[in-house]
Amino acid sequence: MIPNQWYIILESNEVKKGKPVGFTRMGEKIVAWRDSQGNLSVMSDQCPHRGVALSAGKLKDDCIQCPFHGFEYDTSGNCKLVPANGRNAEPPKALHVKTYPTHEEHGFIYIWWGEPQKEYPPLPWFESISDDMVYATIQDHWKCHYSRAIENQLDVVHLPFIHYNTIGRGNRTLVNGPVAKEENRGKRNNLLNLWVYNELDNGQKPKRPSEMPDPNRRPSLQFHFPNLWQNWIADNIRVVIAFVPIDDENTMMYIRYYHTMRTPILRELTGWTGSLANLVIERQDRRVVVTQRPTRSDLDIGETLIPGDHPIVVYRKRRKMLIEDNKQRDSLA
């Protein structure tokens, strides 16, 4: 995991008023819930009293109540009531549940995974997705590290093989480039743009990434650290994936099909058709990606890479740099 980043962890509609939701993200047990005003809280799913899961409790008076002894915690994680000590007693300060800085945008729930900041960076997103676009979402569980799932979406070499009868039709096995360019949009706000130039192999020599001219068109793919990807199919059609880390060997894929159809019936039909196509394509990927070893990717894991793997190398270098930068900050603190 890259520390000190905004991670998408859920869709907003998965947490409704009246019921806490427990789940695992980043290898940690977490609970999300809303108070009577709809305000969201995301916190550790563990009562600091005796370690019981708060998600097994209930919501009461804008607090989450532990099912074991009735301790109540507000949206900030502060204990507001210890029933055994009496209604008028001040709860001990040590009874505090770890909470995560949380933000909702674009129908996603983001949490800040890392140290508290005086000023938080912008949320990862793609400005090219306009407000007039609508989307349909599917979820799929992959038994692999989230970095492997991300790399699969940056891998243009596999297209004619894994997707020979879908998006890889045409047998364009020869890979020119591909071109991968990074944008650093400020503190920890990193974007990777990718241009794809696959073609039929007629005996010509492929061009290496360094031999490719500067692109004069929009990117084919974009990846926003730490866990958000976009396939820019057309100006009015996009596929967006949030690679949500469950733990070191499991990832939840939130796959969205964006389009501009607004007529109710056609909108539903377009969303359903696009989502079904996404499911077919990503299941082709999943079958292979879950077999990769080692489970987590890195620069030095014994793989022999080729020029067509250039985007993966760029991703690994940036990911490692972000992790090392945080380690260096910790050592200087």
B/e letters for 170-185, b = 16+ CB within 10 Å, e = fewer, are eebbbbbbbbbeeeee
Give phi and psi for 117, each to the nearest 5. -120, 150
Residue 331's pLDDT is what?
58
With respect to residue 127, please indicate whether it lies within any of the assigned structural domains.
no
Band of residue 183 on the pLDDT scale cut at 50, 70, 90:
confident
CATH number of domain containing 308: 3.90.380.10
- The domain containing residue 55 runs over which residues? 5-113
CATH number of domain containing 43: 2.102.10.10
- Residue 189 sits in the same domain as residue 100: no
Number of domains in the chain: 2
- Residue 107 sits in the same domain as residue 239: no
**Considering the chain, what percentage of its residues have pLDDT values greater than 70?**
97
How far is it, in rounded angstroms, from Cα 48 to Cα 97?
6
Contact by Cβ (8 Å): 31, 64: yes
- Residue 107 sits in the same domain as residue 150: no
- Residue 316 sits in the same domain as residue 244: yes
Residue 5's pLDDT is what?
96
- Residue 166 sits in the same domain as residue 269: yes
Helix (H, G, I), strand (E, B) or coil at 204: coil
With respect to residue 121, please indicate whether it lies within any of the assigned structural domains.
no
With respect to residue 301, please indicate whether it lies within any of the assigned structural domains.
yes
- Residue 219 sits in the same domain as residue 309: yes
203-224 pLDDT per residue, tens:
999 999 999 999 999 999 999 9
Mean pLDDT of the chain: 95
- Residue 14 sits in the same domain as residue 43: yes
Contact by Cβ (8 Å): 44, 30: yes
- Residue 72 sits in the same domain as residue 30: yes
Residue 185's pLDDT is what?
62
Residues 21-30, mean pLDDT to the nearest whole number: 98
How far is it, in rounded angstroms, from Cα 214 to Cα 196?
12
Band of residue 325 on the pLDDT scale cut at 50, 70, 90:
confident
With respect to residue 124, please indicate whether it lies within any of the assigned structural domains.
no
